[in-house]
């Protein structure tokens, strides 16, 4: 089995690591587009163009599945890529609004994501379908991906944000950008038991199994 993983930057490595643990016999190929990272502030047309160009090596390698390990690329490009490459299986990553809705007790959740993801039609559809009755807090995390990519993120950059959403009553924090997976432990520490922190690494593995009928 050959799995391709694409992300704009280093976030895809975290997803690839999880896939290697789930599928130890698989070949996992990873590509990124660090020359153009972050994607969060770019137009939909630019994100589609960059994503399409970046995955060409994965298409040429005939991956069984290509995982867009980038919430922004999923939100803005995956539908067009599926239409352009109908024979290729794709898996995207989206903010886990549906899961958060099942986990929250206080009906208040925080979604940490890029501005492009939050503005996308795909995200708004998730909120419409699964966010009824929820108060969804969308803190400004616009600089996080760039800071993480350049190894400049520190505790002070996120403490105010996490404290703020917890003080507003959020009991689930959704990490809606794979870059943020690298700081999940710190976010969990800062939440200090007040909120559960979730991201889709395990769900991706389950989706691969379903898509390739491995169970």
Distance CA 102, CA 124 (A): 18
How crowded is residue 28: how many other Cβ atoms within 10 Å of its Cβ?
18
Pairing of strands 89-92, 196-198: unpaired
Active-site annotation holder among 63, 141, 166, 177: 177
Residue 177 annotated to the active site: yes
Identified catalytic residue from 70, 112, 141, 166: 70
- Enumerate the active-site residues: 70, 177
């Amino acid at each position: 089995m050959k799995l391709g993983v694409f992300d704009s930057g280093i976030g895809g490595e975290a997803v690839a690591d999880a896939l290697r643990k789930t599928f130890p016999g698989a070949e996992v190929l990873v590509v990124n587009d660090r020359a153009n990272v972050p994607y969060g502030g770019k137009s939909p047309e630019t994100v589609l163009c960059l994503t399409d160009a970046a995955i060409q090596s994965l298409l040429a390698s005939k991956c069984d599945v290509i995982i867009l390990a980038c919430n922004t690329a999923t939100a803005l490009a995956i539908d067009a890529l599926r239409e352009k490459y109908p024979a290729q299986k794709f898996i995207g990553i989206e903010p886990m609004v549906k899961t958060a809705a099942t986990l929250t007790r206080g009906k208040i959740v925080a979604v940490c994501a890029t501005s492009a993801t939050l503005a996308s039609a795909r995200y708004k559809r998730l909120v419409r379908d699964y966010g009824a009755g929820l108060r969804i807090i969308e803190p400004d995390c616009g600089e996080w991906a760039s800071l993480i990519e350049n190894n400049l993120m520190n505790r002070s950059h996120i403490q105010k944000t996490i404290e703020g959403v917890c003080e507003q009553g959020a009991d689930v924090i959704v990490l809606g950008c794979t870059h943020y997976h690298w700081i999940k432990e710190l976010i969990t520490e800062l939440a200090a038991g007040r909120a559960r922190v979730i991201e889709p690494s395990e769900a991706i593995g389950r989706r691969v199994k379903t898509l390739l009928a491995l169970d």
